[in-house]
Structure 1
Amino acid sequence: MFGSIYIGLSGLAAYSRGLQQISNNVANLNSQGFKESTVTFENVLGANSRSRNGYAGTAGNGVRNGESRLDFAQGELRQTDRDLDLAIQGEGLLMLIRGDKVAYTRTGSFEVDKSGFIVLSGTEYRLATLNDAGRPQTLSVDLSRTSAPKATTKVAFTDNLSSSATKPVTVGGIDVFDATGAKHVWQAVFTKDVSANAATGSWNVAVTDDKGAAIGTQTLRFGTGGSVDPTAATLTFSDSVSGASVAFDFSQGVTSFSGGDVSTLRASAVDGYGQGTFTSLGVNGQGQLEIGYSNEQKQQLGSIAIVDFRDTAQLSQQAGGLFTALDTSQRDILPSGDVRVGKVQSRRLEASNVDLTVEFSDLILVQRGFQASSQIISVTNDMIQQLFGIRGQS
Structure 2
Amino acid sequence: MLRSMYSGISGMKNFQTKLDVIGNNIANVNTFGYKKGRVTFQDLMSQTVSGASRATNDRGGQNAKQVGLGSSLATIDSIQTQGSLQTTARDLDVAVSGDGFFVVKTGNNTMYTRSGNFYLDSNGSLVTAQGNLVQGYPVNAQGVVNRSGATNIKVDTNATMAPQASSLATYNGNLKASAAQGTEVEVETKVKDSLGKDVSLKITMTKTGVNNQWDVAISSLTPGVTVATGTTRTFTFDNQGNLTNPTSSNISLNNTTGANPTQPIELDFSKITQFDSSSSANTDTVDGNAEGYLESFNIGSSGEVNGVFSNGEVRVLSQLAVATFSNPGGLMKAGGNLFQASNNSGLPNTGVPGEGRGMLQAGALEMSNVDLSEEFTEMITAQRGFQANTRIITTSDEILQELVNLKR
* TM interval, short-chain normalised: 0.7 to 0.9
The answer to whether the 8 Å contact 2:204/2:217 transfers is yes
Inter-partner Cα distance in structure 2 for 1:232 and 1:287: 36
Query: Which of 145, 158, 162 matches 1:148?
Result: 162
Inter-partner Cα distance in structure 2 for 1:313 and 1:264: 59
Q: Name the SS of the counterpart of 1:274 in structure 2.
A: coil
The answer to whether the 8 Å contact 2:327/2:344 transfers is no
Q: Name the SS of the counterpart of 1:307 in structure 2.
A: strand
Match of 1:184 in 2: 198
Match of 1:367 in 2: 383
The answer to whether the 8 Å contact 1:32/1:352 transfers is yes
Q: Is it true that 1:207 corresponds to 2:207 in the alignment?
A: no
| Cα distance change of structure 1 residues 266 and 40 upon mapping to structure 2, 3 Å threshold | closer
Give the fraction of aligned pairs with identical amino acids, expressed as a percent: 27
Unaligned runs of at least 5 residues, structure 1:
51-56, 194-199
Inter-partner Cα distance in structure 1 for 2:344 and 2:195: 50
Letter in 2 for 1:305: A
Match of 1:96 in 2: 104
Please state how far the C-alpha of 1:322 moved relative to its aligned partner: 1.6
The answer to whether the 8 Å contact 1:234/1:251 transfers is no
Inter-partner Cα distance in structure 2 for 1:255 and 1:387: 106
Letter in 1 for 2:31: S
Q: Name the SS of the counterpart of 1:376 in structure 2.
A: helix
Match of 1:31 in 2: 31
The answer to whether the 8 Å contact 2:227/2:252 transfers is no
Letter in 2 for 1:338: E
Please state how far the C-alpha of 1:171 moved relative to its aligned partner: 4.6
Q: Is it true that 1:354 corresponds to 2:377 in the alignment?
A: no
- In the alignment of these two chains, the number of paired residues is 372
Q: Residue deviations 1:280-303, cap 9 Å, x none?
A: 434444444443333344444554
Inter-partner Cα distance in structure 2 for 1:232 and 1:350: 49
Inter-partner Cα distance in structure 2 for 1:110 and 1:231: 48
Inter-partner Cα distance in structure 1 for 2:303 and 2:265: 37
Match of 1:249 in 2: 267
The answer to whether the 8 Å contact 1:215/1:237 transfers is yes
Match of 1:85 in 2: 93
Inter-partner Cα distance in structure 1 for 2:94 and 2:362: 5
Letter in 1 for 2:74: G
Under a length normalisation based on structure 2, what TM-score does the superposition of the two structures give? 0.73
Query: Which of 96, 118, 126 matches 1:118?
Result: 126
The answer to whether the 8 Å contact 1:221/1:229 transfers is no
- Aligned-residue Cα RMSD (Å) equals 4.2
Letter in 1 for 2:256: S
Query: Which of 31, 51, 65 matches 2:73?
Result: 65
| Cα distance change of structure 1 residues 190 and 351 upon mapping to structure 2, 3 Å threshold | same
Match of 1:53 in 2: none
The answer to whether the 8 Å contact 1:315/1:323 transfers is yes
Inter-partner Cα distance in structure 2 for 1:109 and 1:44: 44
Please state how far the C-alpha of 1:246 moved relative to its aligned partner: 5.6
Would you tell me which structure has more helix in proportion to its own residues? 1
The answer to whether the 8 Å contact 1:118/1:140 transfers is yes
